[in-house]
Amino acid sequence: MFVGLSFLAQTFGGIGAGLNSTCAMAIITSFFPEEKELYIGILEAGIGVGLLVGPLLGAFLYSIGGYILPFWTVAGICLALYPLLIHTIKFIQMKEDSYI
């Protein structure tokens, strides 16, 4: 049961990551057509740093707080980023309104 649910969760995570990267590239190219290479490079660099630092940070958090601390840390970071997300969505809506 655990292995089956793990494969299912990994499958949904992969689909979500693919959809997320496609949407991010589309948003970058539509909002920054003159400097899209720069912003795509920044996005890819951020993804690379996250893939490099994420496992190290997760292992460190696991060593000091056990199995649950990495999950609580990621949840806290996600909650802390909601104001930035709301601001970004308002910015995107303002840009879309200016195109019309």
User: How does 77-88 read in b/e, with b if 16+ C-beta sit within 10 Å?
Assistant: eeeeeeeeeeee
* Residue (of 47, 81, 19) closest to 73 by Cα position: 81
pLDDT at site 100? 59
Percentage of the chain modeled with pLDDT above 90 = 73
Q: Is the pLDDT higher at 32 or at 59?
A: 59
Domain positions in the chain: 2-99
| 66 SS3 class | coil
CA distance 38 to 46: 12
* Average pLDDT over the chain, rounded to an integer: 91
Please write the tens of the pLDDT for every residue from 56-76. Answer: 999 999 999 999 999 999 999
